[in-house]
Structure 1
Amino acid sequence: MTQLHYAYLASFMVSSAFLNWLLEGQVPWVRLLCLILLFSTFVFVSLYHSLKRSIKSKD
């Protein structure tokens, strides 16, 4: 994993902790849905930057 991936992982952990605190009184499936959406967003951004970097290195 690159340094950028570690930054995304750290920001995911902080964001998920904040989201859990924000949604503390909600039912569990709402919290799970928000966590899945947050995780998929960070995975997409991480893969996008990896692809962008690999295309840039080929040029």
Structure 2
Amino acid sequence: MTVLIGGLIGLGIGTIVLCIMWAIRWKLVFGDFEDYPWLLYTSILAALVIIGVGSKLI
């Protein structure tokens, strides 16, 4: 059970890191990030949902 919880938390953190890296890449390629705030918000929301699901299973 602890392995499952750890895996879900790790997945959530991994998602956040991946989203930040994607956001940086997006900014480098397209220049202006203000035009695409939904990308950042969607990424944060997805990570929170994964962490939320993980905490519900505890």
- Equivalent residues, number: 50
Structure scoring higher RCO (CA < 8 A, sep ≥ 6) equals 2
Q: TM-score, normalised by structure 1?
A: 0.59
Partner Cα separation in structure 2 for residue 50 and residue 12 of structure 1: 14
Q: TM-score, normalised by structure 2?
A: 0.59
Q: Specify every segment of 5 or more residues in structure 2 that has no aligned partner in the other structure, as ranges.
A: 1-8
- Offset at 1:15? 0.5
The structure with more radius of gyration: 1
Root-mean-square deviation (CA, aligned residues, Å) is 1.9
Q: Specify every segment of 5 or more residues in structure 1 that has no aligned partner in the other structure, as ranges.
A: none
